[in-house]
Amino acid sequence: MAKERDLAAKEARLNDQENSNMRLKSELEGMKADLQKEQARVYELQNILNAKDSAVKSLKAKLSNALLGFKDKGLSVEIKNGKVYVSLEEQLLFASASIVVDKKGKEALLELAKSLQDIKDINIMVEGHTDDVPMQSGQIKDNWDLSVLRATSIVRILTVDGKVDPKILIASGRGEHYPIEDAKTKAARAKNRRTEIIITPKLDEVFQLLNQN
């Protein structure tokens, strides 16, 4: 009788151990599946980011080639922080304290617009910058006002004449508060008077992937 009880107890312990092993195996398989899912998600995310990076480099090369004729007139194209920056000095776009884009500036903007028309999934910020010399009396109140109004003038040319989709454009201004150089020299102030057209790839796919459970 005692032997039967011992045998039954051993069988019960064995069953418990087998059940425990099965639970652990199931948990391990679940963890492996979760890990594989996460690895696939990371791989997909990396592919999206690589594609965006490649698109930015391709866009930079395209714009550099299209705007080559303005390179020696105060225009430059570069990549910063995953974005394409088209920087235009004041001398290419505006007379001093003016918000009216001159002829050569309009030519550059229309050439830029032509290159952007077939590019999808981008946002464009037109950002005006000034020097730190206060505005004299007139319709334009201050450098904040000047920088924003210049950006708005450029946006109008890009959308009205250049047919760029207005939904992807933002006009903004930083006044004198984001200088390239801090020196109070004529040359430094000339560099600071500029407009930057910042082209950013949309990252909707990335954010959707990151928000997945």
Query: Could you report the per-residue pLDDT of 162-202, keeping only the tens digit for each?
Result: 999 999 999 999 999 999 999 899 999 999 999 999 999 88
The answer to whether residue 190 sits within a structural domain is: yes
Label residue 22 exposed, middle or buried (CB < 10 Å: 0-12, 13-18, 19+).
Answer: exposed
The answer to whether residue 36 sits within a structural domain is: no
Q: Cα–Cα distances in Å, from 173 out to 32, 125, 127, 147?
A: 51, 10, 5, 5
The answer to whether residue 30 sits within a structural domain is: no
The answer to whether residue 11 sits within a structural domain is: no
State which H helix or E strand residue 154 sits in: helix 143-156
Mean of the per-residue pLDDT values for the chain?
89
Query: Could you report the per-residue pLDDT of 65-108, keeping only the tens digit for each?
Result: 999 999 899 999 999 999 999 999 999 999 999 999 999 999 99
Which structural domain, as residue segments, surrounds residue 79? Answer: 50-207
Place of tokens 């992807």: 168
- Among 139, 142, 149, CA closest to 94: 149
The answer to whether residue 66 sits within a structural domain is: yes
Assign residue 167 the CATH number of its domain: 3.30.1330.60
With a cut of 60, say whether residue 206 has pLDDT above it: no
Q: Bridge-partner residues for 79, per DSSP?
A: 84
Count of CB atoms situated within 10 Å of the CB of 105: 25
The answer to whether residue 115 sits within a structural domain is: yes
Judging by DSSP bridges, how do beta strands 169-173 and 122-129 pair with one another? parallel
Average the pLDDT over 5-24 and give the result.
78
pLDDT at 118: 83
The answer to whether residue 178 sits within a structural domain is: yes
Label residue 38 exposed, middle or buried (CB < 10 Å: 0-12, 13-18, 19+).
Answer: exposed
The answer to whether residue 42 sits within a structural domain is: no
- Among 174, 150, 178, CA closest to 94: 150
- Among 206, 180, 212, CA closest to 193: 180
Give the contacts of 87 (CB within 8 A, at least 6 positions apart). Answer: 75, 76, 77, 78, 194, 195, 196, 197
Tally of domains within the chain: 1
pLDDT at 38: 82
Question: Residue 139: which pLDDT band, with cuts at 50, 70 and 90?
Answer: confident
